[in-house]
Structure 1
């Protein structure tokens, strides 16, 4: 018996390295250090329960340091197996430098539309190198209590929107439209890029700018500046000095009725004033201009890719396929309300306002901010910064819509080949 037990123990000892080798450890690089608890307590346990032989560690860096830290690790060969990808050019640089692998044949990638993949694909759209995780959606938040008090309903067209603002203003009790122009970016991001896609027909217009077949001072792009100018009489008193946090405070305190927003603001207002009755309506249409099909800015925010130098590629691909699944979508959407998974899979969110934003995907076409792909690769002039400046000046009354459109167009044409001479 002793001899038999000895042989058995020797056999187990011999097997133990093989058993240990079956357990693979993956590390995720990320800038979202504020999400650490969510990954540790919700997302990764769900994956590891399904795949017990794969251990995953979420190891974020500070957001402002992420690019530099990641570059250093990649050059030294010490970066994690999975790389969290920022949208557009930074991740494209990593792919072109052969730090990220193509994921074209990854199971689950067919769950994503071309728009969803655009922020993490080559310029020709033929190769995708990160699995899209989430986007943010543009629209309008409103105070339900104020709408009830004044007998208002959610506007669907520009005419209804302006009539609603006039009624709020006539009450003399609330700021109709809560936004400032001090920081400039809100004027473009939550103003011009919020209502504009419906006028320039989303992807048709955005891709037209890249191809040089459309211009900022013509058609829907000019009309968007003209529509934005109509907001000016309804902004808060002293809005030119109002910064982004100031506008958030004003709306959270119940002093304003409508807040041009992104879904990222939902969680902020839930924290600032849990008693605030939030509602949301989608960007309005322009029937008088023939723009009756709503288009939402479903803007890509975050994705995840495979480090080309990883020694655990098979396990990493298993994890990435799971990120493309409905199980991941359900977990992520509820852990971070207002950040919406980009996969065309079935999931629901528990926050009712976040669910409202999400429902617009079924009703509207989708695009994203015009300046983010290719058009802002020049440092100065920079298309994104020019849109901030011009949109703020339109709202301040220091530029006419035509002057703003000409300004943005001329500066883009000064360096971008397909737009030169236009």
Structure 2
């Protein structure tokens, strides 16, 4: 009898200890599409957080990028999604918030470390609620072959006139294709073309927000002018650029056949492994010397709290930590070219990444003009801008006609532009 009581007491005691451990240790699960970041999270980010927050464990469980939206939505509907949701920018995440799947994080202390531009991709249209903590952005500019520039005696251009003088000199020499970019896939003509150089004409956020309010039109001079510059690019892109794909352009540049690559900073890691020459970067040239410069510092990725999470308090602890300098430093240096959106001054170990991010201190930051609100209808302004940019570069459509086509399309469904 005594033996039975002793065993029962031992079992009860063991259960009590186990229950206590379970109450103390919380495991958070992160949903993401960045399956190529798995090692970064497992080896660097999660150990740093867990060391500072004993009792909270974190698991990073990514899906394939192309399947993420569908997988996440089905998990959310089934109530099986993780505690933390990696957020795409703008409408996809706004739809999750509107459906009640993400919570407003405005009261999170770490949110004070992010600017209005940084938060804009994860806010309601009126800016009243911010539902994801910004993680990183990508910056647009031009990457160049330093060896080629040195051979030809060219300095990195600062103005539009210097830019075209450099292109002319490269073309005249004939050793290198002046710029590696094609129009086959269309998106790069807009993303690394129009959205790269455009902010210097429409003055970044000033023009972007005026377009949303209906105070400016796509037929205005500052919105046509980038197309007028792009119309000159075709002469410098090499033979057959019309059929050249995005991977073709990457290869042409990293093999040393082209001197300049209109770029997004996401190229840095790949180019570092593929190019055997030293690279530099220059920001989109201003129209005239002395002009204020503007860069596309485009919001790319963030993280939100699943409204159905049973571990909301621990999840908020993690999200708050994401606003710290420690997280910003780890993330930005592990993924050069994906820059922290926080206000912390995070030095980059990669020199090319450091060049890109240094422009934040020299220029005004903005985001791509078509991404917030203006691409919700049909025709979709983002996709139409891809096509228009490619057509203008090829000489198949005039800048004025492209602007009119886009304006007519936007006005057909967007009330402030009617």
Q: Which residue, out of 87, 90, 93, partners 1:91? A: 93
Q: CA deviation at 1:11?
A: 6.8
Does residue 335 of structure 1 match 2:334?
yes
Separation in 2 of the partners of 1:7 and 1:247? 72
Report the TM-score, using the length of structure 2 for normalisation. Answer: 0.96
Tell me the CA shift for residue 13 of structure 1: 6.5
Residue deviations 1:123-160, cap 9 Å, x none? Answer: 01111000000010000000000001001101000001
Q: Does 1:344 align with 2:343?
A: yes
Q: Distance in 2 between matches of 1:108 and 1:156?
A: 36
Partner of 1:280: 281
Query: In the alignment, which residue of structure 1 is the partner of 2:385?
Result: 387
CA distance in 1, matches of 2:15, 2:188: 64
Return the offset for 1:348: 1.4
Rounded Cα–Cα distance in structure 2 between residues aligned with 1:353 and 1:401: 33
Distance 1:17 1:60 in 2: 30
User: 2:13, 2:246 → 1: CA distance?
Assistant: 67
Counterpart Cα distance in 2 of 1:278 and 1:57? 37
Residue 384 of structure 1, CA deviation: 0.6
Aligned to 1:134: 136
Asked if residue 70 in structure 1 is aligned to residue 51 in structure 2, the reply is: no
Query: 1:270, 1:276 within 8 Å by CA — same for their partners in 2?
Result: no
In structure 2, distance between residues paired with 1:362 and 1:122: 28
Aligned partner of 2:4 in structure 1 is none
Q: Higher mean Cα deviation, 231-240 or 129-138?
A: 231-240
Q: 1:3 maps to what in 2?
A: none
Is 2:156 the counterpart of 1:154?
A: yes
Deviations 1:313-345 (A, max 9, x none): 110000001111110010001111100110001
Q: Distance in 1 between matches of 2:21 and 2:247?
A: 54
What secondary structure sits across from 1:251 in the alignment? helix
Candidates 212, 233, 236, aligned match of 1:234: 236
TM-score, with structure 1 as normaliser: 0.95
Specify which of 184, 188, 191 is matched with residue 189 of structure 1: 191
Question: Are 2:411 and 1:413 equivalent residues in the alignment?
Answer: yes
Which residue of structure 1 lines up, in the alignment, with residue 3 of structure 2? none
| Alpha carbons of structure 1 residues 13 and 64: separation in structure 2 relative to 1, 3 Å | closer
Q: Deviations over 1:200-257 (max 9, x none)?
A: 0001111111111111111211111112212221111111111101111111111111
Measured after TM superposition, the shift of residue 269 of structure 1 is 1.0
Q: Secondary structure at the match of 2:65?
A: coil
* 1:309 corresponding residue in structure 2: 308
Q: For 1:156 and 1:381, locate their aligned partners in 2 and report how far apart those are by CA, in whole Å.
A: 36
RMSD of aligned Cα (Å):
1.6
Q: Displacement of 1:268 after TM fit?
A: 1.5
Note the C-alpha offset of 1:309: 0.6
2:127 aligned with 1:125, yes or no? Answer: yes
CA displacement at 1:8 relative to structure 2: 11
For 1:256 and 1:200, the matched residues in 2 are separated by: 29
Contact 1:130/1:305, CA 8 A, preserved across alignment: yes
Measured after TM superposition, the shift of residue 173 of structure 1 is 1.0
- Corresponding residue for residue 321 of structure 1: 320
Structure 1: 5+ residue stretches without partners = 1-5
- Return 145-154 or 6-15, whichever deviates more: 6-15
Unaligned runs of 5+ in 2: 1-7
